[in-house]
A and B are shown apart, each in its own frame.
Chain A
Amino acid sequence: MLAFEIITPTTILLCFLGVFIGIIMGAIPGMTATMAIAIFLPLTYVLEMVDSIGLLIGLYVGGISGGLVPAILLNIPGTPSSLCTTFDGYPMTQKGEGEKALKIGITASIIGGFFSLTILYLFAPFLASIAIDFSSVDKFLIIVFALTIIASITKGGLLAGIFSGILGIFISLIGRFPDNNEMRLMPPGLEEQLVYGFSLLPVLIGLFAIGQILQEAEDGMKPATHQKKDLNKPKQGKKFSLKIFNGQYINIIRSSFLGTFIGMLPGVGGSAASITAYSQTKSFSKHPERMGTGEPEGIISSESANNGLIGGALIPLLTLGIPGDSTTAILIGAFLLQGIEIGPLFISSNPDLWSGIIISLVIANIVMFVLMFFSIKYFAKIVFIPKHIIFPIIIIMCVVGSYAINNGVMFDVWTLLIFGLLGYIFPKIGIQIAPFLIGFILGMEAEKYFIDSLKGSGGDLSVFFTQGPIAIVLWILIIGSLAYAIVDNQKSKKNQAST
């Protein structure tokens, strides 16, 4: 097999480690897969590219999967993407079928994972081969589309979402413009530190990890109610068997597909995947009235969808260089660290790395399944680790990571703290983190393609409308996503009015 020429035992070990840590972090409520990857990213600086991919993919798969543990046992989603797992998982725990529910969730996870992996493997090279021919205009419009779709899906209003995205672009423009080496938007006194703008990684870790910790501090770091109560031993209810999955094949495939598809939409996160799949399962179910009372069907749909998301989210990342969700946004940082450019040429010019990603996904999914299936009882205990032990460790890791990322720059630690504070303030004043982040990551690219397009046309703005069929399709998608948001908004307003 060629596989073993690319993947070394170190890669497998790191992947294993990644899954293990990922499950733990996913299982702790308030900590997400995104945070897990952000914290460990600086460590990959010293690793080989394939090894670091193994570690990060492991963290990703583990982090998304670990969320089902507290969702089922405590009615608290460990990560946002396991939100819908609570609907049927917790009622099963109350009936004394906690372990069975966990095992159903784990099995659904691995199926969803493999489904999306297959789609990624088959579809990504094809999409990349189309994307090679994209012009600057097309690339600019893709970024606009990424921003409008994420703004249209996030809750809290279309305008606020777009504003957040553009604000992200604005922040990313601070620094020097590579074309003519001129500085712009400089806060006075920081010219030296901000030549290249804010570093991506401290911004990411700050927004996600430090922001979250400040929020928890405001809430008083109270032990969540679950940490006080003792989890009674699950009564030996009905045991788990694969028979539960009989008659669920369509459900699994539909949910995995929805998860993968939603993952492909740029910037749309795991909770949307799980919610969409769950509501579809409910409307197709033979017993919709029983959903939410402890039906395996619900767990299967939610968990296969959120693991389906992983492969889906990697598709736009690896073919267009546009992250599918905030977690894959951080993966961009990993490639940057190693000096590898992500875009349409990535798969064809790095075939080994591409195979490495696929193989890591396979290994991570298998490890996740084996680890969780056979030692779920021990992982279940993680949810009881008190916050005052975990959070200080996370802060230290964040500071070390930010400092190390550019080989020891203290300004990066201050960046971490500034954006940590922003990550805490933003949600309170209606600015949404996800579009802001996508805007920040894609801002420089957007500018480059915008200027390149105008250079080609001599400043004529109509070039964005008259440039071939791809641009027209993209305009239709952009307008479609905006229209969807407006219609959806009206609908929810009507619903509110009628109740």
Chain B
Amino acid sequence: MIPAFFTMNMSFDEYHLIFPRIIISLLIILAVVIVIQKIIKMIRKKEKRSFSFRFFSENYDAMKFYGTLLLLLLYPLALGLIGFLPASILFMFAITVLYAGNFNKKTIIVSISNSLLASIAVWYVFGRLFEITLP
């Protein structure tokens, strides 16, 4: 006789739930074990330092990081509103200036040429030559 523990109830209506349930249980078990391990480690070290978790590296560049996030969020929205070419050129100009980190003449020229060249090249090669749907 096979112990009942090793048998699963298989009904057609529930096929889609069997595996996810197992996976979720495994995730929870592992998460608990990992947390317990971390706590044991902390106790063993006798809390030489209190819980210190640093998400950002030291001296992280807040402007470039949040700037990138913001621009990445705005870009798809702009694509829907004003179309591929204008949105891409604006986006690339903004992000190139952001990354170059200054606003002098040389940066502006580089940004403009980079955004124009790259956007038009992508538009032409993907959109016209290969007829891929562009946003």
> Is A470 among interface residues, defined by CB-CB distance under 8 A?
no
Asked if A217 and B15 sit within 8 Å, CB to CB, the answer is no
> Is A27 among interface residues, defined by CB-CB distance under 8 A?
no
**B30 interface neighbour in A162, A210, A220, Cβ under 8 Å:** A162
**Bound CA span A138–B78, Å:** 49
Instruction: Tell me the interface secondary structure of chain B in the complex.
Output: helix
Contacts of A179 in B (CB 8 A): 15-16
Closest residue of chain A to B132 (Cβ to Cβ) is: A404
**Bound CA span A219–B64, Å:** 9
> Is A166 among interface residues, defined by CB-CB distance under 8 A?
yes
Q: Contacts A218-B65, A404-B132: A170 and B96 contacting too (C-beta < 8 A)?
A: no
Distance between B107 CB and nearest chain A CB, rounded to angstroms: 8
Asked if B114 and A389 sit within 8 Å, CB to CB, the answer is yes
Q: Which of B80-104 contact A (CB under 8 A)?
A: 80, 88, 91-92, 95-96, 99-101
Contacts of B60 in A (CB 8 A): 218-220
> Is A173 among interface residues, defined by CB-CB distance under 8 A?
yes
Closest residue of chain A to B76 (Cβ to Cβ) is: A413
Asked if B126 and A43 sit within 8 Å, CB to CB, the answer is yes
Asked if B16 and A214 sit within 8 Å, CB to CB, the answer is no
Q: Contacts A42-B132, A166-B23: A395 and B16 contacting too (C-beta < 8 A)?
A: no
**A455 interface neighbour in B10, B67, B76, B88, Cβ under 8 Å:** B10
Distance between A210 CB and nearest chain B CB, rounded to angstroms: 7
Contacts of A176 in B (CB 8 A): 16
Contacts of B20 in A (CB 8 A): 170, 173, 184-185
> Is B51 among interface residues, defined by CB-CB distance under 8 A?
no
Asked if B99 and A451 sit within 8 Å, CB to CB, the answer is no
Interface residues contributed by chain A, number (CB under 8 Å) = 63
Asked if A404 and B96 sit within 8 Å, CB to CB, the answer is no
Instruction: Tell me the interface secondary structure of chain A in the complex.
Output: helix
**B15 interface neighbour in A46, A182, A183, A219, Cβ under 8 Å:** A182
Name, among A183, A395, A397, A461, the residue most crowded by chain B CB atoms within 10 Å (CB to CB): A395
Contact with B along A454-469 (1 / 0, CB 8 A): 1100111110000000
Distance between B4 CB and nearest chain A CB, rounded to angstroms: 10
Q: Which of A152-204 contact B (CB under 8 A)?
A: 159-160, 162-163, 166-167, 169-170, 173, 176-177, 179-180, 182-185
**Bound CA span A221–B56, Å:** 15
Distance between A383 CB and nearest chain B CB, rounded to angstroms: 18
Asked if A403 and B135 sit within 8 Å, CB to CB, the answer is yes
Distance between B48 CB and nearest chain A CB, rounded to angstroms: 16
Contacts of A173 in B (CB 8 A): 19-20, 23
Q: Which residues of A contact B (CB under 8 A)?
A: 42-43, 45-46, 159-160, 162-163, 166-167, 169-170, 173, 176-177, 179-180, 182-185, 210, 213-214, 217-221, 386-389, 391-393, 395-397, 399-400, 403-404, 407-408, 410, 413-414, 417, 420-421, 428, 446-447, 450-451, 454-455, 458-462
Chosen A-B contacts, 21 in total, with CB atoms closer than 8 Å, are A46-B131, A160-B34, A163-B34, A166-B26, A169-B23, A170-B24, A179-B16, A214-B65, A214-B68, A217-B99, A218-B57, A221-B99, A388-B101, A396-B91, A400-B122, A400-B126, A410-B79, A414-B76, A417-B72, A458-B10, A462-B6
